[in-house]
Amino acid sequence: DTAVSQTPKYLVTQMGNDKSIKCEQNLGHDTMYWYKQDSKKFLKIMFSYNNKELIINETVPNRFSPKSPDKAHLNLHINSLELGDSAVYFCASSHRGPGANVLTFGAGSRLTVL
Amino acid sequence: GDSVTQMEGPVTLSEEAFLTINCTYTATGYPSLFWYVQYPGEGLQLLLKATKADDKGSNKGFEATYRKETTSFHLEKGSVQVSDSAVYFCALMRAAGNKLTFGGGTRVLVKP
């Protein structure tokens, strides 16, 4: 059973389209994240939710809208896709609290915008 | 703000060679430090971590020691294998938060 699963694994679409990536975790974690990895492998956090509440929102264009229907799911919707949105998007989850909280990552969703 | 700097790759080694990947950080307070590894086509996996000064994290033959005086967390392995070929990420997390800040990643290629 996959701990953090993302769908789809690959997504190819045209500029201007709207697309969604889904993420689910079965670890009982209360915090979920979206990270973006660019073509040079640089990883940057985009959003984090704790118990369905947004707690981290980095400087991400408002074309990106995360939605957390419950604490086991965090979906990412992207409107009006641009070429620069091409990247690998990683979902992750963890417990929240003091100490070193280890993030568990999904396998990634590779988005290609043509 | 918080930042992590690690040596740029790629690092190319022969099997059984010694591997070192340098990592230094800038952060207020006493962050926890991590090394994550990304094998080709996969997500990131935790390799090891350390939560306070002088702690040593270790796993799968890899080691890293939290050095507060030099704000460093260098990764070492005494004898690498072809299966260690991957991208290695150094990261920090502040004690008060859940935000993991990554370095730029170092690609390691081990040749037989």
**Inter-residue contact A43 to A28 (CB < 8 Å):** no
pLDDT digits (tens, 9 = 90+) for B77-87: 999 999 999 99
Question: Are residues A41 and B107, on separate chains, in Cβ contact within 8 Å?
Answer: yes
Question: Are residues B51 and A45, on separate chains, in Cβ contact within 8 Å?
Answer: no
What are the angstrom distances between the C-alpha of B50 and each of A28, A38, A102, B76, B110? 24, 27, 11, 14, 26
User: Given A41, A98, A102, which is nearest B95 (Cβ)?
Assistant: A98
What are the angstrom distances between the C-alpha of B58 and each of A23, A27, B52, B76? 30, 24, 14, 9
**C-alpha–C-alpha distance, residues B72 and A73, integer Å:** 35
pLDDT digits (tens, 9 = 90+) for A54-110: 888 887 899 999 999 999 999 999 999 999 999 999 999 998 776 667 899 999 999
Chain B residues with CB-CB distance to A101 below 8 A: 93, 98
In this prediction, residue B96 carries a pLDDT of 67
In this prediction, residue A98 carries a pLDDT of 66
